[in-house]
Chain A
Amino acid sequence: MRDRLEALRRDGLAAVSESQDLDTLYGVESRLLGRTGALTAELKGLGKLSPEDRPVVGKLANEIKQALQGALDERRTAIESAELAADLAGEGLDPSLPGSNAPKGGVHPVLAIARELEDLFSSMGYVVWDGPEIETEVHNFDALNIPPDHPAREGHDTIWMDVEEGSARRCLRTHTSPVQVRALREFGAPLRVIAPGRVFRQEAQDATHDHTFHQMEGLVVDKGVGVPHMLHAMNSLLEGVFGRKLETRLRPGFFPFVEPGFELDARCPFCKDGCKVCKGSTWIELMPGGLVHPNVLIAAGLDPEEYSGFAFGLGLSRIAMLRYGINDIRWMMGGDLRFLEQFQA
């Protein structure tokens, strides 16, 4: 038995020192010291020895067990250090290999801006509302103080619906302004509301025109509302879109549903002394607006002596084109992934 134990020590130590990795070492350990290991078996066999031999051989067996255990631990530490060193040396690693492809989705650029503005105006107490895209002539024109024979009502500007004979005329709304009267009828005054949405015009398509595009209407009606409040709302909007305060100026503009009517110009956000966008003038025309015409308030069931208000309209598609440098409006509605991919969530 002594010989077997010595052989175990000799072979065991050799096996430990020959082990090159932790798996092998673990195998060696369980072969020697595991539940069914060789040394464990020998230790179990001690009971069969004579009482005289037992302490001597037992002592030897324990010595060998400790020696093997010690060698195993030492070898494990050595292998671990070597592995760590090898890992840190990074042989064969190319840190410049590309990363995995994370899923790429994106929101539509026009709607991205619309949602930013919805958040901005919600925080100022504005309701976000929308109206139907197929609109009645009453809401799209009559209620907005647009005269019955106004050219905008004709087929070369407006896309009309084919309706049953005798029913009221309907069209694809030509602006988001009909929501003014719809929202006022829904909520009454005082009211703050914005209404983003798609609008339609009888228009041949080219780089700057499409028959379908997006606008956002803004309306505030209350007692004592005037031009300074409108200017403040418009300035806030532009600050939201362009991320900084822009110098603006109001000048006259004409729209039947406001009086007085304005155009808001902003200092060109893209240059200091004239560029292609502002056509060298350093101003760009960004937003029409005005005080709500008394006839519109009346159409909405309000008394213009008591209430006043302002309204403005933003060309969302145009703002998106400006902000992202989109050169052709037809990209907007085309669904081309080469376009959509460039806008992230």
Chain B
Amino acid sequence: MKISLNWIGDFVDLSGVSAEKVSNLLSLHTAEVEGIEVYGEAIQDVVVGHVVACGQHPDAEKLSVTEVDFGGEENVAVVCGAPNVRVGLKIAFAPVGSSLPGDLKIKKAKLRGQESRGMICSERELEMSEEHDGIMELPEDAPIGVPLIDYLELRDHILELDNKSLTHRPDLWGHYGFARELSALLQRTLKPLPIDVAWPEAKSAWSVQRTDAEGCAVYSALEIELGGAPRNSNPFISRRLLAVGQRLVNDVVDLSNYVMLEIGQPTHAFDASTISGKAIEVRAAQEGESIVTLDGVDRALIPEDLVIADAKQAIALAGVMGGKHTEVSDTTERIVLEAAAFHATRVRRTAHRLALRSEASSRFEKTLDPAYAAEATARFCHLLLQDRPEAKILGVPSISAEPVADSIQLPLDPVKTSKLLGISLREEEMVSMLEGIGFSPVKKGEGYLVKVPSWRSTKDVTLPIDLVEEVGRMFGYDRIVPAALEAPVEVPVQQPQRLLARKLVNRLVLAHAAHETQSYSFLDCAWAERLGRKISDFERLDNPVLAEVSLIRRDPIPSLLEQAAGNLNEFGQGRLCEVAKGYEPQAGIEPLERRWLGVVEWGEKSLPKQGQESLFGRMRGLGEDLMRSVGVAKEQLSIQPQNAELTAPDWAHPVQTLHWSLGGQPLGWSTRVHPQLLRELDFGAHDCSILLFDLEALSVATQDRHPSFETPSRFPGIKVDVALALPDDKSYAEVEIALKKAGGKLLDSLELFDVYTGEGMADGQRSLAFRCLLRAADRTLSDKEEQKFLRKVDFAAIELGGNLRS
């Protein structure tokens, strides 16, 4: 919202106070000022001029050639096309070198062969009104050469307020409210709003009925005879409105806007002759009802909408926009002036539904003081009669209103107030601060009972704590001095999954060159099918940002796969990880929340399909290292290939899937991504593997795990390499178990170093080569013990259907 400091000056003396100071005071005590604009700057080069000669242009019928005195060293010749230019006229003159609104620069020119050195301006060219039929005519006594903005006192400072900082303050939607704040902050007198009107004796012929009383707390209607058709507003009103960015219409509508910008209360003028009957009803819209609004659009209404209706039809959309049919026109003779308090939420909903937010609706949304309606009616009449003495007020306003509520009285505890704010203020100071903004404190017991003014009572100030805010902001929050908490510090409780997640991410990033990412929680509905799931397996959005993207992910893998796919063009390989929450619906209760650690790695399809160089094998190694980093040795883990008892995740390759568990507690999976899914996601020549851990389960299973130290043996071990020829349907896991059994306690470590098929191997056989380390804690092993181990390995190989090759 824009406020004019000249306008504020009507109510509080701002002399000697700079615009910057006003802006700063308001920002620190009231509401955020976003900027200061100097109004009139755009026309500061324009001066008062005098037409000393005027003649017909020799070659153009509609142009005149004039001589203008503008206080310069010599008079200049100016070509002018306005019909009202004549000798002796005082004009607004833009000399050569000056600039006008719209970045127009005035230069020496030749018009149809005649030299022209300057421009005589219309009001529209000066952005002072919409008037463009002729040039602006100034009074005869206007002093030649004086800047126009000084002569007309146009110079003004316009503050741009952040509307969001005003949402809770229905009193700040007009200039008067800001004047009140500034009078308190500057400790200068607040002048009353001039609203005196000589009301006629006669009763009004109009009746008002609030059928929908919930929607409208007050409705006032007043008929006025204009005493002449609507015309342009006087220059004062026009300039004020233009300065704060309000479009001009005609003097009646402009005045309605003027009052709104002054008090914050919208009013509406109907053309009285267009209303059927003299009874006005405020009611809910009927099913199927519609109205053509001022902007010419036919709008279908629903019963939540509130309308103003005459005997026949809806004539306005309450608080939002008037009806086209009853609009004030060039020929209007009598108006009915409406001033009302409409229901904030209903006005907001209607305005939003119809995409019709107006100056009026945005004010009604704030729950205006019901007392404003009468004030605005009086102010309108006061100003109208000043400008149109010929106008006649036909009766006193017809008003229908809820009973006036008792004013709110709140206790003020000065000691508590000082303590909460951390300031020291004497009681009298607090009282005078509150009085300055219209509150009335009365001493009661230890503290005070404070009467809240009606313009703050509608929703802003309703509890004792609200008074603390008033005292604090009047004192100035910027004067509060910070202080550390005094209470003793305890060791804070920690969420174990959070700590665990942090450790794992650190490990991933530092040891495994993973990049931690964040991906959206939403999934496109197509994912349900891709994962072979039903839509009902997901939590769903009622109003998604994008219609199709309406599922909440169960785990981070789909979104990580999407991110991986997005990187393929630039990065042939990569590793992303994310700590994320996933949700699964549960009938009748809140959804089940799981915390996941997801890792995805992609690379070229040309990599080996299995083994340590494969994506699948690397992911297993990565998982084992992550577990080691949280105190779990590889030997303690159970990492099982897919079997009938274990369900594989939706995206997993049917064979290359490993189920991870620890002490019977399932932890998650490492898998190769199902190739069909990769095809659908356009992975092309890339393959992808995944690790997914349930952090909750992991945190339970790994609680208080620390490595326990074992003293290394003082005795050297024996390295023995063995190669076994085995049927290729024997899995590595089976062979490893058999070898460990053969080695018994003496087998210190076992490492697969070669897998071989091909020449020298029988069909259906492969060779697995291991490096074994045998070692005992209490002795150096003998050749005999090595031989015994080899015999056992040979025996194990035979049991597996193969033999020891070497």
Contacts and interface: CB of A to CB of B under 8 A. Distances in A.
13 contacts: A127-B494, A132-B581, A132-B593, A134-B593, A159-B543, A160-B541, A162-B541, A192-B492, A211-B545, A214-B518, A231-B481, A252-B28, A291-B465
A125 B576 contact: no
A128 B518 contact: no
Interface in B437-496: 463, 465-466, 468-469, 472-473, 477-478, 480-487, 489-495
B541 A159 contact: yes
B588 A105 contact: no
Interface stretch (B3-11, B311-319, B508-516, B526-534): B508-516
Given A115-B502, A291-B420, A337-B515, A133 B492 contact: no
Interface residues of A, number: 86
Contacts of B419: 224, 226
Contact of B492 (A128, A136, A220): A128
A130 B590 contact: no
Contact of B563 (A212, A232, A334): A334
B521 interface: yes
A103 B27 contact: no
B165 A254 contact: yes
Interface of B: 27-32, 165, 167-169, 344-345, 348-349, 352, 365, 419-422, 463, 465-466, 468-469, 472-473, 477-478, 480-487, 489-495, 498, 502, 505-506, 508-522, 539-545, 550, 552, 559-560, 562-564, 566-567, 570-571, 574-576, 581, 583, 588, 590-591, 593
Contacts of B544: 159
Contacts of B574: 337
B479 to A, nearest CB: 9
B570 A338 contact: yes
Contacts of B562: 335
A107 interface: yes
A83 interface: no
Interface string A106-129: 111011000100000010111111
A228 B480 contact: yes
A202 B541 CA distance: 11
Contacts of A340: 515-517, 576
A305 B426 CA distance: 22
Interface of B is mostly: mixed
B352 A156 contact: yes
A252 B30 contact: yes
Given A128-B498, A136-B590, A149 B518 contact: no
Given A198-B521, A250-B477, A334-B566, A161 B542 contact: yes
Interface string A208-227: 00011010000010101111
Nearest to B487: A222
A214 B580 CA distance: 13
A342 to B, nearest CB: 10
A208 B144 CA distance: 52
A267 B345 CA distance: 38
B478 A250 contact: yes
A113 B542 CA distance: 33
A341 interface: yes
A224 B516 CA distance: 41
A80 interface: no
A285 to B, nearest CB: 8
Interface string A67-111: 000000000000000000000000000000000000111111011
Contact of A151 (B348, B465, B515): B348
B513 A103 contact: yes
A235 B502 CA distance: 26
A270 B472 CA distance: 30
A204 B545 contact: yes
A254 B519 CA distance: 32
Nearest first, the 9 A-B pairs at minimum CB distance are: A335-B563, A103-B513, A260-B469, A228-B422, A125-B489, A105-B509, A250-B477, A228-B483, A232-B482
B498 A226 contact: no
Contacts of B542: 155, 159-163
A187 interface: yes
Given A133-B581, A227-B477, A161 B541 contact: yes
A65 interface: no
Contacts of A319: none
A35 interface: no
Nearest to A149: B345
Contact of A129 (B469, B495, B518, B559): B495
Contacts of B32: 251, 263, 285
A163 B517 CA distance: 30
A104 B519 CA distance: 20
